[in-house]
Structure 1
Amino acid sequence: MTTPTHTMTPQGRGADHTAAEIAQQPGVWREVGTIVSRARDSLDTFLKPLLAQEDLRIVLTGAGTSAFAGEVVRAALARATGRRVDAVPTTDIVADPHASFPDDTPTLLVSFARSGDSPESVAATRLAEQVLTRVSHLVITCNSSGHLAQAHHENTTSYVLLMPAAANDRGFAMTSSFTSMLLASLLTFGALGTDGIEAPAAAAEHITAGGLDQAIDTLLAHHCKRLVYLGSSSALKGLAQESALKLLELTGGGLVASSETSLGFRHGPKSVLTDHTAVVVYVSNDPYTRRYDLDIIAELRTGPAPAAVVAVTASPDGLPEDGTWLLPGLTDADDAALALPAVLTAQLIALRSSMARGIPSDNPFPSGEVNRVVQGVTVHPLPERRGDVA
């Protein structure tokens, strides 16, 4: 784990796709901005009548990383639209559609999907139509030929927004697909203007150009056996969940990873701390929420491994220089926009950790026990009346 980051190149080590897809993200984000700008008129034609309904419910859905994209943007979209916005995974919708849609209210189901080929993707949209009287669909996907895109391509109550071809990651784990779809939703609903892309992109380029290489080296040099991600705001809590998943995926489960909020961590999950536990705290830009992040950082730095506590932040205020990973130019950014470059730190930690263990990041499960596109799911028919099981 002490190998310097700059010597750990992916070539020939089964990480070519993953490394390239992490590095390409700033450029892909600019492409996303162009795509949404060109689609603006048709998007507005589709969305304005829906958003005009005061009782509209917007449900953000997806599975795994795609579900976390919804959690990251949920609060920002609620503020931008003035409508109720909930993040509900497709896995919850398929398993219990009536609980996911408890009220027959007008609903816009926003589906995030890299491939759109996982069994739950199309099933969730069909179940929404079965349970709800009035439902429309915004499909944000990276795969034009996926089942989800094809199912909604000619549906008059649907809009399919395709991401750049490069966003359809070839590696096992979602990296550029995650950030591209997240960004697209912010742009689509006006939570971020196209002129707001440049600051996150510049911060991400600082990271991909090696701006945090030494910092990542230092963290991994602590021989971490466990890693915890913390985030307090809704957006950064979703980011923490995605970050933990990325480490689990790319190390093939070899590194134990978990996530929590800064306040929630004290209520039991703090039991994970040992001399070999690293903690990464995503520090909120909201002045009130930020205070709780600073509190937990100060507390943890008096613990068993103070040097293994990292703050990822847009502002160094209230933080010591050591262990503070700065995302430049984003002090005024919403936490959902801050998540765009911040997640690159987690992606690189996961990539470097997998390479250090000799695990091919592009396919960390060569025996197929975990798949790039989920397999083995049987979608059962929903009875006409709740409680009637065939």
Structure 2
Amino acid sequence: MSLLNFESAELDRRGAPHTAREIAQQPQVWRTVHALVQSQRAAIDAFLQPLLALPDLRIVLTGAGSSAFIGQCLTPALLQQLGARPGIRVEAIATTDIVSNPAQCLQPGVPTLLVSFARSGNSPESLAAVELADATVGECHHLAVTCAAEGTLARRLGDRERAHVLLLPDETHDRAFAMTSSFTGMLLAAAWAFGMALPSVDTLGDAARQLLATEAARLDALNAQPFERVVVLGSNGLQGLAKEAALKVLELSDGRLVALADSPLGFRHGPKTILNDRTLVLIVLSNDSYTRRYDLDLLRELRRQGRGRIVALSTSALNAEDALAADDVLLDLPVNAPDLALAPVALVFAQCLALLASLKLGITPDNPSASGTVTRVVSGVIIHPLATPAP
């Protein structure tokens, strides 16, 4: 396998075979995941439709780390889809918040669907969040979207009456440290499970393939001019994408590159002080015509001020005032596609950027943490009994 002008032998030698393969395989993985969801359509609908008919249902999308960002990508789109049903709420709350603050995150007496995203299903917080929700809420239902059949989450929820496990194909269960196929696979699986309107899986896959086939030179050029800070910006659900993209840079550079995520409007309120001449800014422009105005305002401002290198990712050529710059990336998606559709495709570009930055720094991307400070499945978490009084 080759990726971004690297052949398999070199990727093996530099400790990147799994990361590279798991980035490159995503268009095919999405097709496989789509077929899986379609094959389980009747069972998924039988589980979800009665819940979505509840007038006061609360949907909580949860996960830890990257998996939490999946919920943040999905929440605005799912809320918009279900918004015509009075009383239904959709919220993204990380398992790390649920576990440390259950009384502030869970509501007794409110019918709740907890949608858990988990690559391995073995993170202590993922398991504890399920148990706390069951103990606290009363009527709690579970949809688990996970990549590991042997994971504890899948096994624990597999035979529960109020639960459905959407187990993704094994190829989504990344072997590398960083989540890549697992993130986009779970994101799209949930979107399709809830019946969200997206371009066809072929359209999404073709857009990602085009990026992988044509953007190697641009990515090389970006990495040829050393940067020490990376900022990723996106509005609404694309802010979840921005957080995941920034985390990929941070993880694969072993913390040697500072990475920050924000919304274009929020970035002005203090975080903009991070900009210097060695900052790379990625801004994913919304397809929503109203939101896009705010994104473009910041893009103009950043280019006018000339601090850092600015890259816009967009589904269409910019207007006459904002012509595409040499570094900008044109995503091959319909200009009327929902922003949720931009997330997996734009993330492929960010994953490639992070991989190349890692290699340039001499890091082994499959296992980037030289000190062992962080691990593929988080360790060192103690789950304290809820009844234990605070010291």
TMscore range, shorter length = over 0.9
- Distance in 2 (CA, whole Å) between partners of 1:95 and 1:7 is 43
C-alpha displacement of 1:305: 3.8
Pairing of 1:1-390 with structure 2 (within 5 A): 6=5, 9-82=10-83, 83-102=88-107, 104-192=109-197, 196-209=200-213, 211-232=214-235, 234-305=236-307, 308-318=309-319, 319-322=322-325, 323-383=327-387, 388-389=389-390
Q: Could you list the per-position Cα deviations for residues 124-171 of structure 1 after superposition, in whole angstroms to 9, with x for gaps in the alignment?
A: 000001110110000000001101111101101100001111000000
Q: State the SS of the aligned residue for 2:281.
A: strand
- Rounded to whole Å, the distance in 2 between the matches of 1:102 and 1:282 is 35
SS at match of 2:280: strand
CA distance in 2, matches of 1:70, 1:43: 18
CA distance in 2, matches of 1:371, 1:143: 17
Secondary structure at the counterpart of residue 343 of structure 1? helix
CA contact (8 A) 1:316 1:324 kept: no
**Contact 1:112 1:140 (C-alpha < 8 Å) held by counterparts:** yes
Q: TM-score, normalised by structure 1?
A: 0.94
Change (3 A) 1:5 1:47: closer
Instruction: Give distance in 1, aligned partners of 2:182 and 2:122.
Output: 14
Shift of 1:212: 1.3
Q: 1:77 and 1:196 mapped to 2: Cα distance?
A: 18
* SS of 1:345 mapped into structure 2: helix
SS at match of 2:176: coil
- The code of the aligned residue for 2:48 comes to L
TM-score under structure 2 length normalisation:
0.94
Which deviations, in whole Å up to 9, do the C-alpha atoms of 1:312-371 show, x marking residues without a partner? Answer: 111112232322201113312111111010101110010000000110000001442110
Q: SS where residue 56 of structure 2 aligns?
A: coil
Q: Is the 8 A contact 2:107 2:137 kept in 1?
A: no
Given that residues 105 and 134 in structure 1 are in contact (C-alpha distance below 8 angstroms), is that contact kept between their aligned partners in structure 2?
A: yes
Amino acid at match of 1:24: Q
1:66–1:278: structure 2 CA closer, same or farther, 3 Å change rule? same
Is this contact kept in 2: 1:330–1:338, CA < 8 A? no
| Whole-Å separation in 2 of the counterparts to 1:377 and 1:344 | 31
User: How many residues end up aligned between the 2 structures?
Assistant: 380
C-alpha offsets along residues 64-118 of structure 1, whole Å, 9 cap, x if unaligned? Answer: 1000000001111122233311000000000001111145310000000000011
Give the counterpart letter for 2:223 in structure 1: L
Write the deviation string for residues 270-327 of structure 1: whole angstroms up to 9, x where unpaired: 1001110110001000001001111111111122446x10001111122323222011
Runs of 4+ residues over 6 Å off in structure 1: none
Q: Could you tell me the percent identity over the aligned residues?
A: 48
Q: Is the 8 A contact 1:80 1:189 kept in 2?
A: no
Which segment is superposed worse, 275-284 or 361-370? 361-370
- What is the CA RMSD across the aligned residues, in angstroms? 1.7
Which residue identity is paired with 2:35? T
Cα offset, 1:222, TM superposition? 2.4
Asked if 2 retains the 8 angstrom alpha-carbon contact of 1:280 and 1:309, the reply is: yes
Q: Could you give the per-residue CA deviations for residues 3-55 of structure 1, whole angstroms, max 9, x where no partner exists? A: x9635852310000000000000000001111100101111111111111010
Q: Residues 184-227 of structure 1, C-alpha deviation per residue, up to 9 Å, x if partnerless? A: 1100001136x622211110010122x11122122222211101
- Contact in 2 for aligned 1:200/1:341 (Cα 8 Å): yes
| Paired residue secondary structure (2:384) | coil
CA contact (8 A) 2:315 2:334 kept: yes
Letter in 1 for 2:357: S
**In structure 2, what is the Cα distance between the partners aligned to 1:289 and 1:305?**
24
Give the whole-Å Cα distance in 1 for the aligned partners of 2:275 and 2:216. 25
The question of whether the paired residues in 1 share the 8 Å contact of 2:108 and 2:138 is answered with no
Letter in 2 for 1:376: G
Distance 2:80 2:40 in 1: 22
For 2:82 and 2:38, locate their aligned partners in 1 and report how far apart those are by CA, in whole Å: 18
Task: Find the aligned partners of 1:259 and 1:329 in 2 and give their Cα distance.
Answer: 23
Mark the runs of 5 or more structure 1 residues left unpaired by the alignment.
Answer: none
Q: In the aligned structure 2, how far is the partner of 1:34 from the partner of 1:248?
A: 33
Q: Within 2, Cα distance between the matches of 1:26 and 1:378?
A: 38
Amino acid at match of 2:5: H
Contiguous gaps of at least 5 residues in structure 2: none
Which amino acid is the alignment partner of residue 332 of structure 2? Answer: P
CA distance in 2, matches of 1:43, 1:304: 50
Distance 2:102 2:341 in 1: 31
